[in-house]
Structure 1
Amino acid sequence: MLLVLLISLSGYSQSQFTREIAVHREEYKAEFLKSAKSPLKKKDLQYLRFFEPDSTYRVEATVLRTPDAQPFELPTYDGQKKMYVQYAVLAFQLNGKSIQLSIYRSLQLARLPQYRDYLFLPFKDLTNGRETYGGGRYMDLRLGDIKEGKLILDFNKAYNPYCAYSDGYACPIPPRENHLAVRIPAGEKNYELRRGRPRG
């Protein structure tokens, strides 16, 4: 209740927040129809499920840069490896707990002009394998999201990797440093297949 009040006082109401998340999710669904590599067709989008928008899981994080981090191979669920480098550590409070998560840059994507400012946050939490996909979830960020050493981290925008919908995709496995010992009941849930069983 206090967080909702603070958001309201800052000019960002709960209704605005709910609308923002609704728009984001419609845009997210539309992206599946634009990619030739998409695992989902239009008829499949009805099976996407999400937690109700919850502003508790929209937090301000302090960005702790790690400029000396060395590139490393991040394994994927199909056995490949991709080169990433840690860009920073995000430090924030969530439900009274101090939490840290690492954000990364893909060395492959960084060579493409449209992805030079792209930051990647893969994570696991205690909802995995139950309410959410067992392999973890992702969040996308941009360098421009960082302002004066701070960044708004909204878990309501956490999404499933393509591996949650179909086999054969090179989905990065969240590093152990991003395995959270808390539940994050926000963002995308397990994908409901037509036969009624969740995947993952």
Structure 2
Amino acid sequence: MRYILLFTILLQSFFGFSQEKFDLAAAKKYQKTLNKEYADPKTSPLEPNDLANFKGLDFYPISAKYFVVAKFVRTPNEKPFKMATSTARQPFYVKYGEAHFEIDGQKCQLNLYQSLDLIKDPKYKYDLFLPFFDKTSGKESYIGGKYIDVKIPKGNTIVIDFNTSYNPYCAYSHHYSCPKVPMENDLKVAIRAGVKKFND
């Protein structure tokens, strides 16, 4: 048995298999923190009228199904591009890699991007931007898609917890300039996780 266990560990190390586990408590803490941020006038993206009546964001039920350990493929030598936004602003991003995974038996791929402005700040040096559409977009969730913040992985897998997906600030106010989701990040499955459409 010891040799089988050792062999399994070696395989995981060699192929980069992640041993990350779904953490219900962490997902609940994330929701609580986000609600606290949106309820605070100093950090909230909400319009004054919405903030005055804010009771909390509408989340999908937290589910381990949407905690994905994806295969990560680094894509070096990509050319920086101007990402379209909801305004005339066009910040520079570069495609950093791809995440490959399955949900509901369907193969999925999402591109991950790095902001060339944010990486100038040491705090965001290892941050990646993951915007996406899915089959709920424009129906149960925001029409402009949702975002997830992730860190650059050390190996060849990356954790994507859709339970932490959130709306662009443009979902709450037209005063913001939000990156538009690239069409290549349009999933053909329904991701019922994270923040739902905001009903004011």
TM-score w.r.t. the length of structure 1 is 0.82
SS at match of 2:55: helix
Q: Does residue 98 of structure 1 match 2:107?
A: yes
The amino acid of 1:91's aligned partner reads: H
- Give the unaligned 5+ runs of structure 1: 1-9, 194-200
1:23 shift after superposition: 0.7
1:53-79 C-alpha deviation (Å, 9 max, x unpaired): 111111111110011111001010123
Identical amino acids, percent of aligned pairs: 37
The amino acid of 2:145's aligned partner reads: G
1:43 shift after superposition: 4.0
Asked whether the equivalents of residues 147 and 166 of structure 2 are also in contact (C-alpha less than 8 Å), the reply is yes
Q: Does residue 22 of structure 1 match 2:28?
A: yes
Distance in 2 separating the partners of 1:72 and 1:111: 17
1:80-102 C-alpha deviation (Å, 9 max, x unpaired): 21110001000111111111000
Distance in 2 separating the partners of 1:147 and 1:107: 20
**Equivalent residues in 2 for 1:71-110 (5 A)?**
71-110=80-119
Give the RMSD, CA atoms, in angstroms: 2.1
Q: Does residue 63 of structure 1 match 2:84?
A: no
Distance in 2 separating the partners of 1:140 and 1:120: 5
SS at match of 1:100: strand
The amino acid of 1:23's aligned partner reads: K
Asked whether the equivalents of residues 35 and 56 of structure 2 are also in contact (C-alpha less than 8 Å), the reply is no
The amino acid of 2:185's aligned partner reads: N
Asked whether the equivalents of residues 50 and 189 of structure 1 are also in contact (C-alpha less than 8 Å), the reply is yes
Out of 149, 157, 179, the position equivalent to 1:150 is 157
1:30 shift after superposition: 2.6
User: Which residue of structure 2 lines up, in the alignment, with residue 189 of structure 1?
Assistant: 196
Between the two proteins, the alignment pairs up a number of residues equal to 179
Structure whose alpha-carbon radius of gyration is higher: 2
1:177 shift after superposition: 0.7
Asked whether the equivalents of residues 47 and 191 of structure 1 are also in contact (C-alpha less than 8 Å), the reply is no
Moved more, 96-105 or 27-36: 27-36
**Equivalent residues in 2 for 1:39-54 (5 A)?**
39-40=45-46, 43-54=52-63
User: Which residue of structure 2 lines up, in the alignment, with residue 32 of structure 1?
Assistant: 38
Distance in 2 separating the partners of 1:185 and 1:157: 11
TM-score w.r.t. the length of structure 2 is 0.82
User: Which residue of structure 1 lines up, in the alignment, with residue 187 of structure 2?
Assistant: 180
Asked whether the equivalents of residues 125 and 181 of structure 1 are also in contact (C-alpha less than 8 Å), the reply is yes
- Give the unaligned 5+ runs of structure 2: 1-18
Gap change, CA 1:185 and 1:84, over 3 Å in 2: same
Q: Does residue 131 of structure 1 match 2:120?
A: no
Distance in 2 separating the partners of 1:72 and 1:39: 27
Distance in 2 separating the partners of 1:162 and 1:44: 18
Gap change, CA 1:119 and 1:43, over 3 Å in 2: same
Asked whether the equivalents of residues 66 and 88 of structure 1 are also in contact (C-alpha less than 8 Å), the reply is yes
